[in-house]
Structure 1
Amino acid sequence: MSMIEDIELSAERFAEAKVIEQIEDTYENAPTTEELTTLKHISDHIPLPARLIIVCEFCERFAFIGLSGLFQNYIQFPVPGPNDKQSGALGRGQRTATLLTTFFRFLCYLTPIIGAILADQFWGKYKTIFLACVTYMIGLLVLVLSSTPFAIRVGLAFSGLIVAMIILSLGTGGVKSNVSPLMAEQYTRTKPIVKEIRGEKKIIDPKVTVQSMFNWFYWAINLGALSAIVTTNIEKYHSFWLAYLLPMVVFAGSIAVLIVGRHQYIRKVPSGSLIIRACRVITRATQMRWRLGKQDNRRDFLDYAKEDLSPIVHDDNQTVMKSDNNQFVEDLKRALSACRVFAFYPFYWICYNQLVSNMISQAAQMNVGKFVISVEIFKTC
């Protein structure tokens, strides 16, 4: 039996066990109205699968932050001579370095859309994350091999870097869009219960538990981001290939925890991608608008998608959408209206991305005297 088949089979068995567990939860002590307002609300124990996912996220962020902060110097400056202190490898100049680092960041924030569609429409979150991690590891391997002194000397480093960037962006996209939702699914309790702990009654609150889980999740991200302190020093005092090798070794932990906990994770059946459904609604609205022309009773463009819409039926691996299409159109209209707030984001990201491109180039030109601080360590996730 292959690894993927084993994953899918264990998912079915574990889902059945969780249904039984949820039924048993209904017989636990529910708090009264007075107890809800007077007793202390505390977090439940964080499930082991959620803890493993937190470790997975730590390893992924360690790898991503640790390697991406090195790209500007790696691309811009040539291999240093005996008396040179500035680390580098490709010698392509600041313009090319900034272009490629921006290109890499762009891909890393575009591919999560693909990862979300694959998870919701076809594979489910766990399988998507697992395959994305394997892809990620391939990208890391390409990056390490193409940054060795031999690869740089024979001219393979530049093409290897571009290939690695594309593969890494696909990997991180599959992880980014699914890892936090998968962690949230690992906690199944939905209602608070009263429990006596050390002689004192307290309320085990699911909301507090989920909040605690995500606190640990973002702590893992911040701790993983500290990898830039290590990798930038390795870059400066040893080599780029070793600086890239460390994130690769740590990232292996992501795949390890996914395999070790494969019988423990709760995996929901894919129910269909809302992105695909939204595209279908927009397509139908366009067709009906073209066919019917402008109509006064349809105030919004998406209202043209409401006429004679039947529920969208998926194949055997998907479920039928619970809400009717007219309600979905209304929800989509509100969502698109809310997205107007993102119109200001490009201006923010133009400034933010300077941290990993032009500011690093500027730091290389500064006379820092006795105190040498690598600007790369200040980049964030």
Structure 2
Amino acid sequence: MTDDRLKIRKDDTANDNTMEAKQPNKRKASPKICGTNYPLSISFIVVNEFCERFSYYGMKAVLTLYFIHYLHWSSNLSTAIYHAFSGLCYFTPVIGAIIADSWLGKFKTIIYLSIVYVIGHVVKSVGAIPDVGDSTVHIALSMFGLILIAFGTGGIKPCVAAFGGDQFEEEHTEERRKFFSIFYMSINAGSVLSTVITPILRGDVQCFGGDCYALAFGVPAALMIVALVVFIAGSGLYKKSPPEGNVLLNVCKCIGFAIRNRWRSSKKSPKRNHWLDWAEEKYSKGLIQEIKMVLRVLVLYIPLPMFWALFDQQGSRWTLQATRMNMDFGGGFIIKPDQMQMLNALLILVFVPIFDMGVYPLVGLCRINLTPLRKMATGMILAALAFCAATVVEVNVIKTVVEPPPPKECLLQVFNLVNGEAVSVEIKGHNIFPDKIESYKDPVGYTRLPLEDVHKVLPVTVSQNGVPHQCELNITENLAYSLILYSEGTVIKCKQEKDNIIKSEKGEAFLRFINTHSENMNITVGSVNFFAPSSYGISASLSVERGIYTQVTCKSDTKTYYIDLGLLDFGATYTFILGMGTETLELHKMEDVQANNVHIAWQIPQYVLITAGEVMFSITGLEFSYSQAPASMKSVLQAGWLLTVAFGNVIVLIVAEGAGLEQWTEFLLFAALLVAVSIIFSIMAYFYTYVDPDQLAKLAKDEDNMVKLKEKEKENMDMIDVPKSTKM
């Protein structure tokens, strides 16, 4: 999860200085909780935040798999859209802050944008119902729903926490700090529960003949409705500060005026120490000095999006990696690939106190000056190491994958069912099978077959004991085929079948049956029915849930058999040869595509590393930003920080759609880029001078007061020295 959970922890001290507006004088005190100094109104805000975060993270947890399995998009397009949505969620807080501070105030902004949020969830849920229109309608509803959700969640993001802080009296600073801890816990609780529950709703509940994405999106929609209702229910208890103008807009206006004034000035104009000083004709020196301090920090933000580019891939690339891994923890407990994201939230709760009370004090005892910027650079390195770990996992994961053939090539495997004797196979113009092909019980596996064109018909000669037999292959590039050899009397015949080599990203197994029996066969595996025609007929290749299948019913035209398929494992593709024995139906099992043999637990190190990096980078970054900015400018830095998350997602979008790299190469590229960026950031940090912003702002304001005093004295002197008229 991104920094919206982390920023609350250090936001309590900042909030004292970033209140949207001062409370009106002699305001009626809000009811307290059980005689404490905690306003009753905060309970509504905490419940609202829990439900809203459950809604957001629950929907987002299954989003990538929804794109792939429901909308049937490629993994690259799914990743790009996922990060485009995530980026939009972090662009829109700026809009929400402007609306709240300039026009509506926090309360009304939360209400109105929560309604937009709810509508987005409802539209998204309706778009996941199969009976609603065609694929174009589903895509349109899904995209429109996501846009509304992005505006809703992003718009209220800068408002809810600050609105909660507004509920406390000025003297109750300790209670306000504890409130932010509770608020932070509600965010984590919502994110952990949602990333556990919504994948279960998606995968374990079947509706409309498949995974129930409508329910997985519908429950977060219901939670968002609850969040809105609870927030409105506390309306009579809230302290509502009126909007007093947006600092961000004032900053932009001041910068714009300075640039225009500098551009229009003549060469004879006096030189200024800083380009922002050109705004002194309209804006106070105090404001200009504060903007200078903010810009110094914002310059340090420039390299930061690269960290978020890696961090936010937990919900996209890492989830897709998990779909190709073994998810069985034994004892019937099977984790879902989209549930692994909960590790981040759980580890955050563990790591925050460990780093605060253990790691940082120990580093201090070693007399190492671990400044905030050094912590952030270390966090970047940890995130890069996380992607190195992900690269190692990916390299081992793809060993079980049959790579699709490139253009002008196809894949071919041969099943020799000819009386169990070896045969020679010659394909005109190619020598891909130099050795004899033994019985199907000793499979050769897939071999690359070059093609001269996109589509080709190739003559094939099959020889046994020196006797040649002729057949042909009708093949197309980029596909995989099985060539099944069998005999009818003394003649060897060929049967060609297009194969499925793509692993199931739902953790299912694909299987098919080749029926050598003289009667048709109907096989029921779980809830899936297979039909294999007689005399070397081949059933369709269908997917079944991973599991151990014994006593599988196999019915011929005259008899019922029970066969043992054994374990059908994650991501594998099997071919079963059915043949007649003396008493029973003989069965031979072949694994065309290897099962996922890398356990999903191997993802834990990369989650540990990136969460440790998040603690050092995100918490420290927010703490540093607030400590280096004057009180009136903290909201500007908050907007800048959220924009770094947005631009990080844009980076992933560009790489996912434009680079076209293998996944392990892409992981390694991101790791290398972040290391390079961390070096640049470390150099920038070396030349950064830490300041006391409140002291500098005070000096600037004192200078403003001195200027005003001198102007006042000058006016008084002008009044005294007015020349007397020479006329009577």
- TM-score, normalised to structure 1, is 0.76
> Quick check: 1:89–1:152 contact (8 Å CA) kept in 2?
no
> Quick check: 2:127–2:142 contact (8 Å CA) kept in 1?
yes
| d(CA) in 1 for partners of 2:29, 2:138 | 53
Secondary structure class of the residue paired with 1:232: helix
1:298 matches 2:272: yes
Q: Who is 2:334 aligned against?
A: 372
Q: Who is 2:131 aligned against?
A: 150
Q: Who is 2:115 aligned against?
A: 134
| d(CA) in 1 for partners of 2:293, 2:235 | 38
Q: Structure 1's 212 and 18: CA in aligned 2 closer, same or farther, altered over 3 A? A: farther
Instruction: Give 4+ residue runs of structure 1 displaced > 4 Å after superposition.
Output: 15-18, 293-296
| d(CA) in 1 for partners of 2:24, 2:234 | 17
1:57 matches 2:49: yes
| d(CA) in 1 for partners of 2:178, 2:202 | 36
How far did residue 160 of structure 1 move? 1.2
Secondary structure class of the residue paired with 2:303: helix
Q: Structure 1's 152 and 375: CA in aligned 2 closer, same or farther, altered over 3 A? A: farther
How far did residue 240 of structure 1 move? 0.4
Q: Who is 2:313 aligned against?
A: 354
Among candidates 41, 45, 59, match of residue 37 of structure 2 = 45
1:218 matches 2:184: yes
Q: Who is 1:242 aligned against?
A: 215
Q: Who is 2:292 aligned against?
A: 333
1:269 matches 2:242: yes
Q: Structure 1's 251 and 20: CA in aligned 2 closer, same or farther, altered over 3 A? A: closer
Q: Who is 2:495 aligned against?
A: none
> Quick check: 1:112–1:176 contact (8 Å CA) kept in 2?
yes
Secondary structure class of the residue paired with 2:314: helix
> Quick check: 2:97–2:159 contact (8 Å CA) kept in 1?
yes
Write the deviation string for residues 60-101 of structure 1: whole angstroms up to 9, x where unpaired.
Answer: 10100000111110001xxxxxxxxxxx21111101100110
Among candidates 153, 160, 163, match of residue 144 of structure 2 = 163
Q: Who is 1:208 aligned against?
A: 174
Secondary structure class of the residue paired with 2:244: coil
| d(CA) in 1 for partners of 2:133, 2:82 | 19
Q: Who is 1:6 aligned against?
A: none
Q: Who is 2:78 aligned against?
A: 97
2:213 partner amino acid = F
| d(CA) in 2 for partners of 1:247, 1:145 | 13
Q: Structure 1's 262 and 361: CA in aligned 2 closer, same or farther, altered over 3 A? A: same
1:73 matches 2:46: no
Secondary structure class of the residue paired with 2:297: helix
How far did residue 276 of structure 1 move? 0.7
Give the 5 Å matches for 1:279-318: 279-293=252-266, 297-307=271-281, 309=282
Secondary structure class of the residue paired with 1:149: coil
Among candidates 174, 179, 199, match of residue 232 of structure 1 = 199
- TM-score, normalised to structure 2, is 0.40
Write the deviation string for residues 80-124 of structure 1: whole angstroms up to 9, x where unpaired.
Answer: xxxxxxxx2111110110011000100000100000000000000
Residue segments in structure 2 that go unaligned for 5+ positions in a row: 1-22, 206-211, 346-728
1:300 partner amino acid = H
| d(CA) in 2 for partners of 1:44, 1:302 | 48
1:19 partner amino acid = R
> Quick check: 1:53–1:183 contact (8 Å CA) kept in 2?
yes
1:115 matches 2:82: no
| d(CA) in 2 for partners of 1:16, 1:292 | 44
Q: Structure 1's 296 and 361: CA in aligned 2 closer, same or farther, altered over 3 A? A: farther
Q: Structure 1's 263 and 329: CA in aligned 2 closer, same or farther, altered over 3 A? A: same
Write the deviation string for residues 13-56 of structure 1: whole angstroms up to 9, x where unpaired.
Answer: xx77852559xxxxxxxxxxxxxxxxxxxx95321111211111
Worse-superposed segment, 363-372 or 122-131: 363-372
> Quick check: 1:116–1:174 contact (8 Å CA) kept in 2?
yes
| d(CA) in 1 for partners of 2:129, 2:28 | 54
Structure (1 or 2) with the greater strand fraction = 2
Secondary structure class of the residue paired with 1:177: helix
Q: Who is 1:84 aligned against?
A: none
1:229 partner amino acid = V
Write the deviation string for residues 280-307 of structure 1: whole angstroms up to 9, x where unpaired.
Answer: 1011011111111576631222111112
| d(CA) in 2 for partners of 1:169, 1:60 | 13
1:224 partner amino acid = G
Report the structure number with the largest CA radius of gyration. Answer: 2
Q: Structure 1's 46 and 375: CA in aligned 2 closer, same or farther, altered over 3 A? A: farther
| d(CA) in 2 for partners of 1:340, 1:44 | 44
Residue segments in structure 1 that go unaligned for 5+ positions in a row: 1-14, 23-42, 77-87, 192-205, 311-324
> Quick check: 1:104–1:166 contact (8 Å CA) kept in 2?
yes
> Quick check: 1:90–1:152 contact (8 Å CA) kept in 2?
no
2:336 partner amino acid = S
Q: Who is 1:254 aligned against?
A: 227
Q: Structure 1's 156 and 18: CA in aligned 2 closer, same or farther, altered over 3 A? A: farther
| d(CA) in 1 for partners of 2:114, 2:58 | 16
Higher RCO, 1 or 2 (CA under 8 Å, sep at least 6)? 1
How far did residue 264 of structure 1 move? 1.2
2:190 partner amino acid = G
| d(CA) in 1 for partners of 2:162, 2:317 | 34
| d(CA) in 1 for partners of 2:270, 2:25 | 54
Q: Structure 1's 152 and 360: CA in aligned 2 closer, same or farther, altered over 3 A? A: farther
Q: Structure 1's 251 and 93: CA in aligned 2 closer, same or farther, altered over 3 A? A: same
Write the deviation string for residues 300-345 of structure 1: whole angstroms up to 9, x where unpaired.
Answer: 22111112x16xxxxxxxxxxxxxx321111111011122332332
| d(CA) in 2 for partners of 1:98, 1:151 | 25
Secondary structure class of the residue paired with 2:196: helix
| d(CA) in 2 for partners of 1:99, 1:293 | 48
> Quick check: 2:71–2:135 contact (8 Å CA) kept in 1?
no
| d(CA) in 1 for partners of 2:42, 2:28 | 20
Structure (1 or 2) with the greater helix fraction = 1
Write the deviation string for residues 209-265 of structure 1: whole angstroms up to 9, x where unpaired.
Answer: 111100110110011002110001111122000011111111112211222111111
Among candidates 178, 186, 190, match of residue 159 of structure 2 = 178
Secondary structure class of the residue paired with 2:180: helix
Superposition CA RMSD, Å: 2.1
Identity rate, percent: 28
